[in-house]
Each structure stands twice: as structure tokens, then as C-alpha cells.
């Protein structure tokens, strides 16, 4: 019997480890900060991760950042904004979670598909590997193969980014079935890399019921215990609450989770998310993390970067004026649907020293009379991006009011298209003008799919996605906004201005001041004689940064201020 067993063991070189590492990867060269959620989702894990990463940047450390999302969609492109918030588009065309927008704005980075992993994308890759025989005849399992591929993804980003620290945000909440394998993978990562190379942060929620008049930590304690039962011992805890979490509550959480009190920090509501880094810095969370990860020798403070950032923060704290802008759309009940637009307005407003208030106007079944009444007390109007027919006529009515009453107007993607339709109907006299998206067989399809798009049947296959160059017409208002005749913006749309109607539209005064280089794809429009009537097929909000506001947004708010 012993001879048979020896023979079997010699023939089999299998073991239980599956620990894929990219060629050239070295343990310890890149450190990791993993951010987990407890109690509930939507607490601001992305904001915390971005804020701490920003502090690391200001200390001269190179950072990168990524997000795990547990849903089985391959990307965020087909998710309903009502359920998920906005879809943020990266320069390479990746349709991602809105947290990647937060990362880019805080850190000034242009992220790619390497920074975003969904359950659908993960399993797609695993099944392709299995079909190609990459698992050498093994039965493919969650452990070690699914968790191993997650670790491979993380290490590939560490290697390609050459970052000192990679921040990893795990979407959702501990206990979610769809996130269990991500949490397990990060537990294994710490086991394999060593605790000196991986810092684990738990974000939790401290209840503050108005009827009790005091903060309660029991839900936070139970959430942290659930995380610990999954094998994850937090190194620090961020406590979300409407008001600053009192010392007594933080002490309870410290004891319950075996985390030193100095590493249990209050991350309560503040005037702007851009104040969070200074909140963490006052609690010395950045310094403690650097010591936990042994990064002290790599710190080389970025004094000029810190000065620029602190100037911006001081502007936020000292805004004097206030303006009101209408947001006319169909997702107005969920503000996260327009997260990047709100941030772009904040960036431009802070630059100009004013706070921007939003008046939300649902355009579903909105008549011209209703639009006029709703818009008579605002200083500017935005029609954001969208798909589908619901609310379209209401948006067209709002645009007509803005055009006729010299109300500053910014049309984004769908807002560009609706502006073309409104102008065609009411200025060019093209009754029945519409988009073939809304009315397939309309009399005048001034907005239509281009011929090369019509041959593509797959949903998303005919989308214009990601970063594209825009050729700006010299001498136009757009040229004065950008100060350049070639710019790059990000896009996410399927329908275009129909080239067959360009001559009629231009003869009546509509100016197409930006287009795709070498092609008749119109991407920017403006109206002469109007204080600010500007539409773009792009989403310039995706490139707006705190220290570098988007030119169209900056120009829009300047017009709003008169």
C-alpha cells in the first residue's frame, strides 16, 4: 500500500495554492490599502480612499487606486442611473462606477480598465481561461482560483502603475454574497504579502436617531464583527455620521474591533468632500498608515502641490456669492445620477468664488408654460446627458425658453441633441424635427445614427465612448473657452447631428464650432448673440478637476454671473 501511495504522490504535483503573480512582481515594492464597508453601502468608501491617497500624493508617494464591484455586469454601461448613479467613462472607453470619477478628481489621474473590476468581468476572464486550458485540468473553484484571479488583477495594477501604494475599494457591504469572494481575496492578499505590506480600513456607520438625541454604535460594532468573522482584522476604522462621532462612541468601537483608539477616526459630514483630507490629516491617519506600511523612507513632501491644494480648500471655506442653476432631467430624484456635473459646477464655482445651488426640474410631461414658470427664478440652465424618449419634450420646452429669454444654457450630450431639435423646429421651421432615437420614422431626423453605426446591432457596439479629439473652429466662442483649436473630451453617446441638415441649421444662425477631426461629426454648437448658448456631445464634467475646472463649465458660470 505504501508503494502505491508513493507512486501517486510522485505522479501528482498538485497543491492547494494558486497564487498567480505577474512576471517581475516583487512583494513589498508596492504596498496596499484595502477599504471595506460595514453596516450599509453608500457611506463614502471611495471618498475616504481618495482622501487618504491624496495625502499620500502630497507626501511625494506615487499612488494608484481601483474598485471592485460585485454585480455580474461586465461593466456599468447598462446600469440604470436610478439604481446605480451615473456611469463614469474613462479615457479608454471603460464604462465604470461613479467612484472612479471621485478617484480621478481627487488624484488628477487618468484611470483605465486596469483600475476597475466587476464580478461579470472577473468570471468572463476565468471562464475564458478555463476554456483555454489554463488551469491544467483542475476543478475551478472560488478558492483558490476566483480569489487568485482577483489577486492577479491587483498585482498587475501594482506592477504596471509602479505605485508605492495601491488603494483598493471593495464595493458594497460585508455580508453581501456578491462581495464575499473579493473580501476573501484581500484576506488572502494580506496573508501572502505580509501585514507590513497591507493596511486594512473599515468604514462603518454610527447611528444618530433624532428621537434619541444620542449616537449609537451597536450597528457599527456588529458590522465590524461580521468583517472580523470573515478573517479581516481592521488596522483602522473610519466612522461615518452626520455629526462628529464623540470620543465615548469611538472608544466603544475601538474595544469591540481590537483597533487602537488613535486609529478610530470620525469622518462626519462637512461642507465639501474636498475637506476630508484635512480631517484625516488632523487625526494623523496618513502618518499612522505610513508607519504601518513602513513607507517613511519614501516620503518626499510635495510642497507646491500642497500649497495649491490648500489654496483651493481655503476658497471652499470662503465662498461669498451664490447662484441658482436649473438641472432639467429625468433622474432628478437621485442626485448621484449627475454626480460629475455637480462636482464640475463646484470646481468652477469655487474658482469664481461662488456657491452653486441646484434647482431640480423633472421634465417628464413638462409643458412650455410649466417650463417658463419653473425657470423664471434661476440664473442658468443645464440639460444633462440621457437616453430614451421620456422627458425629451419637456427638455425641448426648457431649451426654447432659455434661447428666447437669454438664459445661459449648457447642453451636455443629450442636451446638445435636444438643442438641435428645438432650433430645427422653432427657428428653421422644420415641423416634425426629432431624433430617430425618440421617433424612428420622424419627418426630419435632425438627430440620427450615422451610416456606419446603423450596421452595428450589438447594444453598446455603436456607442461613441471614451476620449476623443475635438477640432475647434477658430474665432468661435468655443475657441475662446478652450484657448486651443484641438482639445480632448470624453464621450458617451449613440446619436449624432444628421449631416444632411447642417446647411439649413447653419443658415439660420446655429454655429457648429467643434467637430471630429477630418469628419462631419458635429460635437460643439453655439448661438451668436446669446449670453451663453452652448451644447456639446461630450461630457466635459468627466475631465473637470478641483484645481483645473472644465472650460465649458467655467464659461457657463461666468455667463451666469453676468
When pLDDT is cut at 50, 70 and 90, the band that residue 7 belongs to is very low
Residue 380 within a domain? yes
The tally of domains found in the chain comes to 2
Query: Active-site residue 84, yes or no?
Result: no
Stated pTM of the model: 0.92
Residue 238 belongs to domain with CATH number: 3.40.50.300
Between the CA of residue 122 and those of 128, 144, 146, 181, 538, what are the distances in Å? Answer: 10, 14, 8, 11, 30
Clarify whether residues 364 and 305 are in a common domain. Answer: no
Say how far residue 541 (Cα) sits from the centre of its chain. 11
Query: Active-site residue 539, yes or no?
Result: yes
Query: Active-site residue 413, yes or no?
Result: yes
Average pLDDT over residues 236-248: 97
Residue 15 within a domain? no
Average pLDDT over residues 191-200: 97
Q: What is the pLDDT of residue 455?
A: 56
Domain endpoint, select from 277, 292, 310: 310
Clarify whether residues 305 and 436 are in a common domain. Answer: no
Domain endpoint, select from 269, 290, 310: 310
Q: What is the pLDDT of residues 100-144, one digit of tens each?
A: 999 999 999 999 999 999 999 999 999 999 999 988 778 899 999
Clarify whether residues 105 and 231 are in a common domain. Answer: yes
Clarify whether residues 224 and 113 are in a common domain. Answer: yes
Domain endpoint, select from 289, 310, 331: 310
When pLDDT is cut at 50, 70 and 90, the band that residue 547 belongs to is very high
Q: Which residues of 489-517 are buried (b: 16+ CB within 10 A; e: fewer)?
A: bbbbbbbbbbeebbebbeeeebbbbbbbe
Clarify whether residues 323 and 306 are in a common domain. Answer: no
Clarify whether residues 323 and 226 are in a common domain. Answer: no
Average pLDDT over residues 82-94: 88
Residue 208 within a domain? yes
Evaluate if residue 423 carries a pLDDT over 90. Answer: yes
Q: What is the pLDDT of residue 332?
A: 67
Q: What is the pLDDT of residue 451?
A: 61
Residue 6 within a domain? no
Q: What is the pLDDT of residue 20?
A: 85
Clarify whether residues 249 and 351 are in a common domain. Answer: no
Average pLDDT, the chain: 92
Clarify whether residues 304 and 349 are in a common domain. Answer: no
Residue 10 within a domain? no
Clarify whether residues 447 and 386 are in a common domain. Answer: yes
Catalytic residue from among 239, 413, 428, 497? 413
Phi then psi for residue 34, to 5 deg, are -105, 130
Evaluate if residue 10 carries a pLDDT over 60. Answer: no
When pLDDT is cut at 50, 70 and 90, the band that residue 12 belongs to is very low
Q: CB-based contacts of 100: which residues, under 8 Å, 6+ apart?
A: 67, 88, 90, 111, 115, 116
Q: What is the pLDDT of residue 14?
A: 64
State whether the Cα torsion 360-363-364-369 is positive or negative.
Answer: positive
Clarify whether residues 141 and 286 are in a common domain. Answer: yes
Residue 19 within a domain? no
Q: Where are the beta strands (DSSP E) in 106-175?
A: 116-118, 165-170
Q: What is the pLDDT of residue 397?
A: 97
Catalytic residue from among 95, 104, 169, 541? 541
Evaluate if residue 386 carries a pLDDT over 50. Answer: yes
Clarify whether residues 230 and 263 are in a common domain. Answer: yes
Residue 355 belongs to domain with CATH number: 3.40.50.880
- Decide: helix, strand or coil at residue 249: helix
Q: What is the pLDDT of residue 460?
A: 45
Q: What is the pLDDT of residue 333?
A: 64
Catalytic residue from among 351, 493, 530, 539? 539
Residue 5 within a domain? no
418: alpha, beta or left? (left if phi > 0; alpha if psi -120 to 50): alpha
Q: What is the pLDDT of residue 391?
A: 86
Q: What is the pLDDT of residues 477-504, one digit of tens each?
A: 999 999 999 999 999 988 999 999 999 9
Clarify whether residues 263 and 326 are in a common domain. Answer: no
Name the percent of the chain lying above pLDDT 70. 94
- Decide: helix, strand or coil at residue 9: helix
Residue 106 within a domain? yes
Q: What is the pLDDT of residue 13?
A: 55
Range of the domain at 172: 31-310
Amino acid at each position: 500500500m505504501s508503494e502505491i501511495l508513493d507512486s501517486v504522490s510522485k505522479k501528482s504535483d498538485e497543491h492547494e495554492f494558486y497564487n498567480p503573480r505577474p512576471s517581475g512582481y516583487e512583494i513589498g515594492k508596492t504596498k496596499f490599502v484595502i477599504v471595506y464597508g460595514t453596516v450599509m453601502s453608500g457611506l463614502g468608501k471611495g471618498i475616504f480612499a481618495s482622501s487618504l491617497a491624496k495625502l499620500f500624493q502630497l507626501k511625494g508617494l506615487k499612488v494608484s487606486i481601483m474598485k471592485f464591484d460585485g454585480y455580474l455586469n461586465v461593466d456599468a454601461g447598462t446600469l440604470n442611473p436610478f439604481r446605480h448613479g451615473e456611469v463614469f467613462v474613462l479615457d479608454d472607453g471603460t464604462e465604470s462606477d461613479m467612484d472612479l470619477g471621485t478617484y480621478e478628481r481627487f488624484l488628477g489621474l487618468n484611470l483605465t480598465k486596469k483600475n476597475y473590476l466587476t464580478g461579470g468581468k472577473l468570471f468572463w476572464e476565468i471562464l475564458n481561461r478555463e476554456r483555454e486550458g489554463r488551469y491544467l485540468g483542475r476543478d475551478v473553484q472560488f478558492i483558490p482560483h476566483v480569489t487568485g484571479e482577483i489577486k492577479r488583477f491587483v498585482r498587475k495594477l501594482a506592477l504596471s502603475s509602479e505605485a508605492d501604494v495601491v488603494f483598493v475599494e471593495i464595493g458594497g457591504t460585508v455580508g453581501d454574497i456578491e462581495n464575499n469572494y473579493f473580501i476573501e481575496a484581500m484576506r488572502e492578499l494580506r496573508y501572502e504579502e505580509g501585514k507590513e505590506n497591507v493596511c486594512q480600513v473599515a468604514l462603518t456607520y454610527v447611528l444618530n436617531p433624532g428621537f434619541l438625541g444620542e449616537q449609537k454604535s451597536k450597528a457599527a460594532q456588529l458590522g465590524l464583527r461580521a468583517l472580523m468573522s470573515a478573517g479581516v482584522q481592521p488596522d483602522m476604522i473610519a466612522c461615518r455620521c452626520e455629526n462628529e462621532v464623540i470620543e465615548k462612541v469611538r472608544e466603544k468601537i475601538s474595544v469591540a474591533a481590537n483597533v487602537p483608539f488613535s486609529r478610530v477616526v470620525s469622518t462626519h459630514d462637512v461642507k465639501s468632500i474636498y475637506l476630508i483630507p484635512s480631517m484625516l490629516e488632523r487625526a494623523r491617519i496618513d502618518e499612522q498608515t505610513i508607519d504601518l506600511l513602513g513607507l517613511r523612507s519614501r516620503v518626499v513632501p510635495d510642497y507646491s502641490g500642497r500649497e495649491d491644494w490648500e489654496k483651493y480648500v481655503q476658497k471652499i471655506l470662503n465662498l461669498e456669492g451664490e447662484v441658482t442653476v436649473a438641472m432639467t432631467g429625468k433622474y432628478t430624484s437621485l442626485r448621484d445620477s449627475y454626480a460629475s456635473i455637480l462636482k464640475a459646477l463646484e470646481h468652477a464655482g469655487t474658482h469664481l468664488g461662488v456657491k452653486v445651488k441646484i434647482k431640480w426640474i423633472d421634465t417628464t410631461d413638462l409643458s412650455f408654460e410649466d417650463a417658463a414658470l419653473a425657470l423664471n427664478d434661476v440664473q442658468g440652465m443645464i440639460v444633462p446627458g440621457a437616453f430614451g424618449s421620456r422627458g425629451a419634450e419637456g427638455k425641448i420646452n426648457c431649451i426654447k425658453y432659455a434661447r428666447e429669454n437669454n438664459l445661459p444654457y449648457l447642453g451636455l450630450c443629450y442636451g446638445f441633441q435636444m438643442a438641435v431639435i428645438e432650433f430645427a423646429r422653432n427657428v428653421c421651421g422644420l415641423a416634425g424635427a426629432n431624433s430617430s432615437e425618440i421617433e424612428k420614422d420622424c419627418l426630419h431626423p435632425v438627430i440620427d445614427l450615422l451610416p456606419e453605426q446603423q450596421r452595428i446591432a450589438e447594444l453598446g457596439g455603436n456607442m461613441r465612448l471614451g476620449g476623443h479629439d475635438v477640432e475647434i473652429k477658430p474665432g468661435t466662442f468655443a475657441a475662446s473657452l478652450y484657448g486651443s483649436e484641438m482639445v480632448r473630451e470624453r464621450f458617451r453617446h449613440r446619436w449624432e447631428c444628421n449631416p444632411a441638415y447642417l446647411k439649413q441649421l447653419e443658415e439660420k444662425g446655429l454655429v457648429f464650432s467643434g467637430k471630429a477631426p477630418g469628419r462631419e461629426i458635429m460635437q460643439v454648437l453655439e448661438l451668436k448673440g446669446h449670453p451663453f448658448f452652448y451644447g456639446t456631445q461630450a461630457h466635459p464634467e468627466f475631465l473637470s478637476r478641483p484645481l483645473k475646472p472644465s472650460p465649458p463649465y467655467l464659461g457657463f458660470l461666468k455667463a451666469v454671473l453676468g
